[in-house]
Amino acid sequence: MSPIQILTAGRKVLVAALLGMATLGLAARAAAATPPAVGEEAKDFQLSALGGGPVKLSKLTADGPVVLVVLRGYPGYQCPICTKQFGELLGKAEALKTAGAKVVFVYPGPAEKLKERAGEFVKGKDYPAHFQILLDPDYAFTTAYGLRWEAKNETAYPSTFVIDGKGRVTYLKVSKTHGDRAKVADVLAAVGAK
């Protein structure tokens, strides 16, 4: 083999090795990030509330069950199904409060304009103190929970978790479509609301 042929063959092997490592890295990352299943402990996280200040899941669950709703954020518009889901849960705010549940909505998206977009989502809506909107800048939370929807014009898989006072998931609904959201009756049952 000439020196040029050896160099060309070496480059091909290097490129193949790098592509293989990249593929394995992506597969490992995708496999490592999965939502916690029913019965498993929810991974703790801390996000900023729309109104300011940090909110940590473990501090919320220390006081009772938490309904964790992952919204789609702003995929170029405010999702009407997310708006409907928010309204349905808001309509049961008193029952959720009586059950001792806090309701947390995670609003994911690019960090730039995220607070502004989340503010638009709740504009004109009065919600009680046991409801909070948390910001997920650059999809850090949704990626860590395996809920990042990587398709064009998508953000996160709409999801609802109920997490008990011990930090365990007692209810889970992950939608791989825009619709097919958790039913409010199922959420109420999972927190023990009457």
Query: Which residue(s) pair with 69 in the sheet?
Result: 105, 160
Query: What does pTM read for this prediction?
Result: 0.83
Span 22-79, pLDDT tens digits: 444 444 444 458 999 999 999 999 999 999 999 999 999 999 999 999 999 998 899 9
* CA distance between the termini of the chain: 80
Looking at 1.10.10.10, 3.40.50.1100, 3.40.30.10, 3.40.50.1820, the CATH number of the domain 34-191 comes to: 3.40.30.10
**Gyration radius (Cα) of the chain, Å:** 21
Q: What is the pLDDT of residue 12?
A: 53
| 28 burial type by CB count under 10 A (0-12 exposed, 13-18 middle, 19+ buried) | exposed
Q: What is the pLDDT of residue 149?
A: 94
